[in-house]
Structure 1
Amino acid sequence: MIQDKVRKEVSLDKTIIEKLKIKAQEDGRNLKNYLEKVLTEKANDDFEITEDYMKMIDEMLEKKEKGLINFTSWEEVKKKFNR
């Protein structure tokens, strides 16, 4: 399966990079691969959909269906703020 990946630049302090390089070597990985692994694990481990969150989303969708709220697309927001 081909994954749609996005490339991002990250700026870190030199001492942080050196510490991460050591951790990557200990894990048998290169720095880039280690960073991808750590960030993927962090993103997946910390995200949990709770009952309260599902209830909030259901309420928002009901309000949208009833025309009580409107959403602004990201493109419209960027145009408004000239970004």
Structure 2
Amino acid sequence: MSKTKKLIELDDKAIAILEKQAKLQKRSLKNYIEYTLEDAALRYSEPSEEYKAMMDNMLERDEKGTLKYHSWEDIKAQYGR
């Protein structure tokens, strides 16, 4: 994957906040900003074909009434919580 350089300007308050978050994650400020932006971009991207197929299957099973649901209480009881 190729990379492109961009110059961005942020106010000092935003930089200070981002620096604190970067330190909490043991990252450099540059790395933290790049990671955060790439993560946000991925959330805006279209889901993978595998995910779409899985969701189509789930919707089809729901429409047919063959999809099984478990309540949160059942799950907690099963795992002893």
Q: List per-residue Cα deviations over 1:10-64 (Å, max 9, x = no partner).
A: 0000000000000000011000000110001000012226xxxxxxxxxxxxxxx
Corresponding residue number in structure 2 for 1:14: 12
Corresponding residue number in structure 2 for 1:64: none
State percent identity of aligned pairs.
34
**TM-score, normalisation: structure 1:** 0.53
Secondary structure of 2:33's aligned partner = helix
- Cα distance in structure 1, aligned partners of 2:38 and 2:2: 14
- Cα distance in structure 2, aligned partners of 1:31 and 1:16: 11
Unpaired runs of 5+ in structure 2? Answer: 48-81
The count of corresponding residues between Structure 1 and Structure 2 is 47
Unpaired runs of 5+ in structure 1? Answer: 50-83
RMSD, matched Cα: 1.2
**TM-score, normalisation: structure 2:** 0.54
Alignment of 1:24-35 (within 5 A): 24-35=22-33
| 4+ residue segments displaced more than 6 Å | none
